[in-house]
Amino acid sequence: MTQGRGRLLPRCILATLFSLVPLVAFAQQQEPIPIFVVDVRGAYGHHKMEPSVATDLGVTTTNIPTKTLGLGGGVHVYPLHLGVVTFGFGGHVLMTRGSATLTAEETGQTQPSPTVMRHFRTIDPEISLNFGHKNGWSYISGGLGRSVLFVERQDLPMGDQPGRQTIHYGGGARWFMKRHLALSLDFRWYAVTEQAATATTIAQPGTTLLILSGGVALR
């Protein structure tokens, strides 16, 4: 049942995005998308369990956190309008983290499990295709950048970690309910390359994670 829900989640998000794309005829009657927008959002991350990481940390797979929370922001410009499509360029920064600790009852031991931490940080350029008008538009976007993604035990911190090549892709929408303030929603997948083990750190496998974020946009 859990795997089925996991497969349905991306489909539901895509269906929501397409439902937000304004009708072409309506979009043509509106003012064009503004030249400049800034986003500030809260973020929720959904991550995969990594059995190899659990083994290397000396914990069970259920001790690996699969959810993270954090903040993100971005700056975007929209210099080129071609018909119903507006091309955008910009970038975003995102930081999330999460932790998991199993109780003594869950572990079957006399003490709780170690606390396991997950960290995700990324700064990425972005190119977008935007559909809509000045007061509301949806978009699809993607880019190539670098991120820091790793799992560690709180009692055995690994320190600073190197960046890993990352491809991101997704979409979202903005609705301006006031002249300069809008509701901003985004969903995004991050495909992160693997990281080899070093003398002081464990190997971090390649993975794909999903970030859902929502907040405000300013123009």
Q: For position 9, what pLDDT does the model report?
A: 54
Burial class (CB in 10 A: 0-12, 13-18, 19+), 23: exposed
| Architecture in CATH for domain 2-218 | Beta Barrel (2.40)
Taking the model in full, what pTM does it have? 0.85
**Which among 200, 136, 139, 143 is positioned nearest to 166, based on CA atoms?**
143
Distance of CA 130 to the CA centre of its chain: 19
pLDDT mean by block of 10 residues, the chain; 219 residues: 50 52 46 94 96 94 96 96 94 96 82 93 96 94 96 91 95 94 97 90 94 96
Do 214 and 188 meet the contact criterion of CB atoms below 8 Å apart? no
Do 44 and 68 meet the contact criterion of CB atoms below 8 Å apart? yes
Q: For position 159, what pLDDT does the model report?
A: 84
Q: For position 27, what pLDDT does the model report?
A: 41
